[in-house]
Structure 1
Amino acid sequence: MIRKLGQPGDLGWVVQSHAETYAAEYGWGFAYETLIAQIVAAYATEHDDRREAAWIAEVDGERVGSIFCVRRPDEATAKLRLLLLTPAARGRGLGAELVDTCLAFAREAGYKRMVLWTNAPLVAARHIYLARGFRLTSSETHDSWGDPVVGQNYELDL
């Protein structure tokens, strides 16, 4: 089930699940958790309900995934952020459902384009993005969380 973010504990769960999942899978540590906490805090304190939204995926009443749609300074562009599925929830189509929910919201909110930033090791997420027509616009190696990794920017006309 996909529901709007807004229950007590949702924000903290997003930060904790990202930090724990990516630390276990890729070794991304405290600097990565800090980035996620900053994104979540900005959403919690500054979002506009008409132009931004976030969702939680649940299985049997347990949180297992997230995604956010936030505005960019350019009023025509939305940004997809914080897509995550916990390892136990993968392979059920929930990632695709989260992305589709986010895209539908962006279209309804009047955005003309959606962008996202991801990292090359996140193959399953990239597959979902490409299947929906996102195109790679740039990539650059960074070492923000330890070992070098290729960050990738994607975009989709809505």
Structure 2
Amino acid sequence: MTTTKQPDVVIRRADRPGDLGWVVMAHGEIYDEQFGWNTDFEALVARIVADYATDHDPSREAAWIADVDGTRAGSIFLVSGGDPTVAKLRILLVTPAARGLGLGTRLVDECLSFARKAGYRAVTLWTNDVLTSARRIYQSYGFVLVDEDPHHSFGHHLVGQTWTLDLT
């Protein structure tokens, strides 16, 4: 009888050299491969990561990397919004090779736990309707769709969605 080794999964802060660059690169490559999105999307992710890297409050904002067997396989960011009681969940990603391991759920769980400890009353996020796997995770945590807006971005006609979770 052969046993399959379970992968070693670690969710950790995105604080190692190369982590932030990997987030940008992985988003660019994966979204191109899966959805045909152009470099405008990678530029958006780069701005989010650069803003976080140059000016974040560690008591209120954080980023995480999911490692599988020592290899980066996912990411998520939590940043402050315009309202000091509302955080933004940003750039959740799980690489295709690591899907099915529950990384997306674990990353969102880590993010929301941090948001509660940081004293936020709500978490909001913006996504696109084609990202069905991520949406299922958000809905499982109780996020509610509050707005939809068709737009042309990343080389495609998309429907942007804003979701909110009340933490109180």
Fold match by TM threshold 0.5: yes
Q: Give the 5 Å matches for 1:10-29.
A: 10-29=19-38
What corresponds to 1:68 in structure 2? Answer: 77
Supply the distance in 1 between the matched residues of 2:22 and 2:131 (Cα, whole angstroms): 20
What corresponds to 1:129 in structure 2? Answer: 138
Question: 1:36 pairs with 33, 42, 45, which one?
Answer: 45
Q: What is the aligned-residue identity percentage?
A: 57
Question: 2:128 pairs with 92, 106, 119, which one?
Answer: 119
SS in 1 for 2:153: coil
What corresponds to 1:152 in structure 2? Answer: 161
Supply the distance in 1 between the matched residues of 2:138 and 2:45 (Cα, whole angstroms): 20
Deviation for aligned residue 1:146:
1.1
Amino acid at match of 2:93: L
Say if 2:107 is the partner of 1:98. yes
What corresponds to 1:51 in structure 2? Answer: 60
Amino acid at match of 1:145: F
Amino acid at match of 2:16: Q
The ranges of structure 1 where at least 4 consecutive aligned residues each deviate by more than 4 angstroms after the TM superposition are: none
Counting matched residue pairs gives 158
> What do the CA deviations read for 1:38-74 (whole angstroms, capped 9, x no partner)?
0000000010000000000000000000000000121
Supply the distance in 1 between the matched residues of 2:154 and 2:90 (Cα, whole angstroms): 18
Say if 2:62 is the partner of 1:82. no
What TM-score, normalized to structure 1? 0.99
The structure with more radius of gyration: 2
What corresponds to 2:150 in structure 1? Answer: 141
Deviation for aligned residue 1:8:
0.5
Structure 1 alignment gaps of length 5 or more = none
